[in-house]
A and B are shown apart, each in its own frame.
Chain A
Amino acid sequence: MKFFKVASAIALACSSSALMAQTIDIQITNLTHAQHFTPRLVIAHDNSVDAFEPGVEATSALAWLAEAGVIDDAQNAASAGQNFEALLGPTDTDNTTNTWHRFGGLVAPSTSLSYAFDTMDKPYLSILSMLIPTNDAFVGLDSIKIPTTPGTYTYMLHAYDAGTELNDELNSMRTDIVEQGGAALGGYGVPGVAGAGASPVPLGVGGTGVAVKVGFAEDGSAIGANEVVDGTDGPVHIHRNILGDTSLTDGASDLQSTEHRWLNPVARVTITIPSS
């Protein structure tokens, strides 16, 4: 039995590469005005893997990606056991249900990057990346069937809200406000927009908060005057966009309404299936 399997595999290798592991070309273009894309999580998978689903609560792995841009332990050791690496298995490995890779660096607004990616013959493809500076926005390609006919295929991607953090739109580089209890603003599990430093336009300070106000709990009751609560607004849904305002020193938001907003689609993905 084993002998016959080996023999047929050799026969296949000699006759055609159609069923062998396939490397495809993936190009992603950032269509926004002033939002960077964090490192991209690219997953080829079967139908048992669902990185995100509108109307369904986010996993902790999705929360790490959407709030902090973190995919694996190498990026942030504190995410170990909770991130996509924990959910999917080792990178660049055939994990039976999936294979995945983190393509590092940022994709700046109005720029494109291309990658070669070995799908290891998994039938579906998903891509996720956080939009910064936001609280928990991410761009998502949602389990598309990988084409089998050689050619070039284009997909327009939407910005989703992971629903794991209220969209306070507060600059995480501020030190005059803290999470309720005293933690600094910033990434996973704490209020404030992540990646404020990467923005091509300066963020403001002094905002009083959009979806939740500085100094008040979600129900409107007073808390510490410099404190921000960490609430959730799930399940996963289409992001309603940045609100922003036009003040760099006060107003509700530390983001700029004239710069940081977007409208869907926020990304274009072009997949090239090579002729074998």
Chain B
Amino acid sequence: MNINKISLVLLPLIAVLATGCGGDDGSNGTAGQAGTAGVDGANGADGTNGTNGTNGTNGNLAVFTVQLTNLTYSQPFSPAAIILHEPGYHAFIDGEAASLGLEQLAEGGDPTELLAEALAATQYLDATATDGATGPRSIGTMSTLLVPLLDVDDLRLSFTTMLVDTNDAFTGLNAADISNMTVGQSMSFMAPTWDSGTEANTETASTIPGPAAGAAGGGGASAGFDAARDDLFDLVHFHRGVVTNANANDESKEGLSTSVLTEADRWDNPTARIIVTRTR
């Protein structure tokens, strides 16, 4: 190896010596062609990584997606209030009077005030309204909520949404325990239907905000929230279902002839399914 190297180095020297021994030089020839460009050099070594930044306060967040399925045949759901919170907060309690926020949601389909009430609660962690209504027999849009990792070990999920072809029916979850979910885990809940107890179930066009009343010349915001509380008892309770005008004029006389609802607007529980997935 070494011997070969030495002989290669010596070769040009011998050539030079050889040419030096010749007679008169001839006239110079034309310049040779320019050589090709050399190859690029190798990249330098990577620099060292910078030091890690320090964590912010509660900087580590767990991420949850929540998706609602409307299980009813023809009751659209209003935009839903979805709330992640610590134990102690309740959007509603059976046998107690509804908050103003719940009344506005259950009569008019507006979750704004209920979400404001949740935000004011000390147990509040995160909340959102679903992106618009969820149609009957359909799977709704996915909502994403964030809570500090520290709170994952004792976490509750609540949601409420109005069945909009009713006076004041709503479905939801009341502080469902979703503590200690692992990343990738999903939980599924089936939800029954409550009556907010804030409005008599007259089933008329002027008291129901949804499309069934709209088709009868009523509906809309003016038929939604009404501050008066005129149900039999001003207490949240399980909904007894809608009577509707079906069978109102046959011999059974079972129906409510003044109702704008039809047999298609009936439901059985559960009316909603909610799937919560921890994604981070």
Q: Which residues of A contact B (CB under 8 A)?
A: 54-56, 158-159, 161, 163, 210-211, 233-241, 243, 245-247, 250-252, 257, 262-264
The minimal Cβ–Cβ distance linking A186 to chain B, given in whole angstroms, is 22
Specify which chain A residues have a CB less than 8 angstroms from the CB of B137 in the assembled complex.
55, 163, 233-237
The minimal Cβ–Cβ distance linking B31 to chain A, given in whole angstroms, is 71
The minimal Cβ–Cβ distance linking B220 to chain A, given in whole angstroms, is 25
The complex places the Cα of A234 from the Cα of B74 at a distance, in Å, of 11
The complex places the Cα of A218 from the Cα of B199 at a distance, in Å, of 34
Segment with Cβ contacts to A, from B12-20, B202-210, B244-252 = B244-252
CB pairs A–B below 8 angstroms (24 shown):
A54-B69, A54-B139, A55-B69, A55-B71, A56-B139, A163-B137, A235-B138, A236-B137, A237-B73, A237-B136, A238-B71, A238-B73, A238-B268, A238-B270, A239-B73, A240-B73, A240-B266, A245-B247, A245-B250, A247-B250, A247-B251, A252-B246, A262-B268, A264-B269
Within 8 A of A (CB), among B63-120: 69-73
Shortest 6 CB-CB contacts between residues of A and residues of B: A55-B139, A246-B252, A238-B71, A237-B137, A251-B250, A240-B266
The complex places the Cα of A86 from the Cα of B136 at a distance, in Å, of 30
Total contacting residues, chain B, CB less than 8 A: 25
Main secondary structure of the interface of A (DSSP, over half): loop
Specify which chain A residues have a CB less than 8 angstroms from the CB of B69 in the assembled complex.
54-55
Could you give, for residues 224-261 of chain B, a 1 whenever the CB lies within 8 Å of some chain A CB and a 0 otherwise? 00000000000000000000001100111010000000
Q: A210-B263, A233-B73 are contacts. A257–B273 as well, Cβ < 8 Å?
A: no
The minimal Cβ–Cβ distance linking B29 to chain A, given in whole angstroms, is 73
Known A237-B136, A240-B268; further 7 A-B contacts with Cβ < 8 A: A158-B190, A158-B270, A235-B137, A238-B73, A240-B263, A252-B250, A264-B270
Closest B residue to A243 by beta carbon equals B263
Specify which chain B residues have a CB less than 8 angstroms from the CB of A236 in the assembled complex.
137
The complex places the Cα of A223 from the Cα of B139 at a distance, in Å, of 35
